[in-house]
Amino acid sequence: MMRQYNRKNWFFLVFAALAMFSITPQILSAQNAQTAPPATPQIAVLGVIAPATSCEELAKADISGTVGAKAHITSAERVPHGSPAPYCRVTGFIEPMVKFEVRLPLNTWTQRFVQTGCGGLCGNLSIHLGNDEGCYPAQHGELALASTDMGHTGGMDGQFGEKDYQLRIDFAYRGVHVTTLAAKALIHQFYGQDARYSYFSGCSDGGREALMEAQRYPQDFNGIAAGAPAMNFTTQNTFYHGWNALKNTGVDGKPILTADKLPILYQAALEACDAIDGLKDGLISDPFSCHFDPSVVECKMGTNQEGCLTHAQVETARAIYQGAHDAEGDRLVLSGPLPGSELAWAGVYVPQPGNDRIMSAMISTGTLKNLAYEKNPPPGYTLQDLEFTPALFEATTKLHALYDATDPQLTPFAKAGGKLILWHGLADPHISPLNTIAYYEALNKTMGAKEVQQFARTYLFPGGYHCGGGEGPFSFDVMSVLMAWVEKGTAPHALVASHQVDGPRGPIAGTSQSMPQAALPLGRGTPDIDIAARGTAPTVDRMRPVYPYPLTAKYTGTGSIDDAKNFIVGPPISVPSSQLTWLGSAFFTHHPMVWCVGQGARMNCTSKP
């Protein structure tokens, strides 16, 4: 049975109504960007496909041949009251232990498949499709969905990689790919046909997974959305977090810079850099031109120290901005966090009030002890053993080709018709947006700007934190935009993003009513909680267009600065090449892929073009 959308006017009215309540971004054509109001991106009209077999029959499915490894189905059950529509939930694992979940709509599948990424070091199995609130197929249960735990269980300690190196490989790239093959095989068996379009969406490590798919498996997905990608995994989870944790730890083992001082630092950064873009609006839209000196908030002799920072705190902040570097000043990471991100440092390398725990110390210690090196350090290794030297940089990045997703040669993906949208919050405390900029610049250098324009876009959101939340408009619908590009050839120009008064302000966004923010895995992003479940639509206080990098949004000079229609295309951002130069610059060049097989605490790897 197939259902066609034959009431086209009603279809678009529904889209408009959804946009009013969810206030997610729309797309503007390049030709009309300066005058036309936002218009909902048009996606393909696809019929509903009914299942060709029962959900329960999938428990007997043999998909090992398609996956290329022994696959086990552990359950197949109907979820009759699933939100937003009933679905068949299939779980299983691919040897050695890559768990997966696939959700197959029972009555509403319109031939699209979306796989979602995982955050942090993963180790848990859940499906969260974020940045989709204005996407009709997502909001009405029309998508087949899948995700994976990436082949292990556990948190940020990386212990899964201590003795079984195959689990490292599954985390690096294999787990996501075999899950894709399993999901596509189950879709074919359940509906009697393949998905018409396949998409991947992820943020943080999910963004790394997204780029890994485009680079290693260009045929897997038609469209990929990669948010705040942790593409430089080997340096991000070692030198970046390790530096910040150590610089904010005093000789007494306690934090130097505390959360109560972050608003002071943030306000000073705003005062110094807010107006660089020509508009003082409480956002730093061009942090690359910002030269903020934190010494302006250093306490003066005899003054009340509640409204200022001690000399030690100023030096700590200065070191965090600078990012990890060696004694000669050569950078071991692309960048530290940018000005405007200060409020989001809390809970990452600055502990939350009443807590001395620093997340960055956990991230870096676990990676260094169990994942970073082919031969793990001795059991007594601590974060204090981390040295910021070129020699250790070289040793720590020997597995770069395994974990990192920085190859800018995406010609196979582009030739397959793939479309890529990169996005990043400019106030991200976890991963500097300069990583995403460096990758996009490398794409242009490697493939040519004209070719890149045919399949890739990058969006930078002023005031946006890590994967969601922040002081700036950072709620947007990337899925509709990606679908419109893949299915109708409508290349995206301006995205209109919103900021919610009662929305999340922390570095990890989108907590549900039943899950505290601290419980969310790093980089999870915004769970897909539909409006009906929330009760009422969030209150929006600001909307802005965000144009493809390097373009900016410029205020017209009239009307509210919180209304997107009062902005036009502004001058391009200029990022000095010196800001993109570091010891890992060569990572952003085309290199052979490393393919590995684990045998206990060993890996056998081969390089192939």
CA distance 76 to 66: 19
Q: Identify the pLDDT of residue 388.
A: 98
Residue of 454, 461, 458, 354 whose CA lies nearest to 414? 454
Q: Identify the pLDDT of residue 39.
A: 60
Question: Is the predicted pLDDT of residue 533 greater than 80, yes or no?
Answer: no
Q: Which residue has the tokens 């696959």?
A: 71
Residue 218: both structure tokens together: 């260009």
Band (pLDDT 50/70/90 cuts) for residue 528 is: very low
Question: Is the predicted pLDDT of residue 524 greater than 90, yes or no?
Answer: no
Contact call for residues 286 and 576 (beta carbons, < 8 A) = no
Query: What residues have CB less than 8 Å from 414, skipping those under 6 apart?
Result: 447, 451, 454, 455, 456
- Residues 444-457, mean pLDDT to the nearest whole number: 98
| Element spanning 555, H or E | strand 552-555
Sign of the C-alpha dihedral computed for residues 546, 547, 550 and 556 taken in this order: negative
Band (pLDDT 50/70/90 cuts) for residue 13 is: very low
Cα angle, residue 408 at apex, residues 403 and 410 outer, rounded to 5°: 105
Band (pLDDT 50/70/90 cuts) for residue 23 is: very low
Contact call for residues 67 and 185 (beta carbons, < 8 A) = yes
Q: Which residue has the tokens 């929006």?
A: 540
Contact call for residues 338 and 326 (beta carbons, < 8 A) = no
Cβ neighbourhood burial of 592 (10 Å; 0-12, 13-18, 19+): exposed
CA distance 28 to 358: 42
CA distance 184 to 222: 13
Contact call for residues 94 and 100 (beta carbons, < 8 A) = yes
Residue of 209, 201, 245, 213 whose CA lies nearest to 230? 209
Contact call for residues 478 and 225 (beta carbons, < 8 A) = yes
Q: What is the pTM of this model?
A: 0.89
CATH 3.40.50.1820 range(s) for the chain read 8-231+405-570
- Cα 197 to chain centroid distance, Å, stands at 21
CA distance 236 to 432: 9
| Element spanning 78, H or E | strand 71-79
Residues in the chain: 609
Q: Identify the pLDDT of residue 537.
A: 67
CA distance 116 to 101: 11
pLDDT for 407-446, tens place per residue? 999 999 999 999 999 999 999 999 999 999 999 999 999 9
Least trusted range by pLDDT, from 6-15, 438-447, 458-467, 499-508: 6-15
Q: Which residue has the tokens 């479309």?
A: 419
Question: Is the predicted pLDDT of residue 476 greater than 70, yes or no?
Answer: yes
| Distances, alpha carbon 395 to alpha carbons 172, 221, 377, in Å | 18, 34, 12
Q: Identify the pLDDT of residue 513.
A: 26
Q: Which residue has the tokens 């017209």?
A: 556
Contact call for residues 90 and 104 (beta carbons, < 8 A) = yes
Q: Identify the pLDDT of residue 34.
A: 40
Rg (CA), the chain: 23
Q: Identify the pLDDT of residue 502.
A: 67
Cβ neighbourhood burial of 167 (10 Å; 0-12, 13-18, 19+): buried
Q: What share of the chain is helix, strand, coil (3-state, %, to 5)?
A: 35, 20, 50
Pairing between β-strand 71-79 and β-strand 98-105 as defined by DSSP bridges = unpaired
| Distances, alpha carbon 248 to alpha carbons 59, 256, 356, in Å | 52, 5, 11
Band (pLDDT 50/70/90 cuts) for residue 306 is: confident
Cα angle, residue 571 at apex, residues 570 and 576 outer, rounded to 5°: 140
Q: To the nearest whole number, what is the mean pLDDT of the chain?
A: 89
Residue of 430, 495, 510 whose CA lies nearest to 460? 495
Q: Identify the pLDDT of residue 82.
A: 81
Least trusted range by pLDDT, from 90-94, 210-214, 482-486, 529-533: 529-533
DSSP state of 578: G
Residue 253: both structure tokens together: 């083992």
Q: Identify the pLDDT of residue 515.
A: 27
List beta partners, residue 144: 113
Residue 127: both structure tokens together: 């499906």
Q: What is the CB neighbour count within 10 angstroms for residue 531? A: 15
pLDDT for 35-79, tens place per residue? 343 466 899 999 999 999 999 999 999 999 999 999 999 999 999
Please spell the DSSP secondary structure of 87-148, one letter per residue.
EEEEEEEETTTEEEEEEEESS---SEEEEE---TT--S------S-TT-HHHHTT-EEEEEE
Please give the CATH topology (third level) of the domain spanning 8-231+405-570: Rossmann fold (3.40.50)
What percent of the chain clears pLDDT 90, i.e. is strictly above it?
82
Backbone angles phi, psi at 245, to 5 degrees: -65, -45
- Residues 222-240, mean pLDDT to the nearest whole number: 98
Least trusted range by pLDDT, from 36-45, 483-492, 502-511: 502-511
List beta partners, residue 343: none
Residue 443: both structure tokens together: 């794409």
- Residues 382-396, mean pLDDT to the nearest whole number: 98
- Cα 360 to chain centroid distance, Å, stands at 18
What percent of the chain clears pLDDT 70, i.e. is strictly above it?
88
Cβ neighbourhood burial of 443 (10 Å; 0-12, 13-18, 19+): buried
List beta partners, residue 203: 227
pLDDT for 160-219, tens place per residue? 999 999 999 999 999 999 999 999 999 999 999 999 999 999 999 999 999 999 999 999
DSSP state of 248: T
Amino acid code (one letter) for 190: F
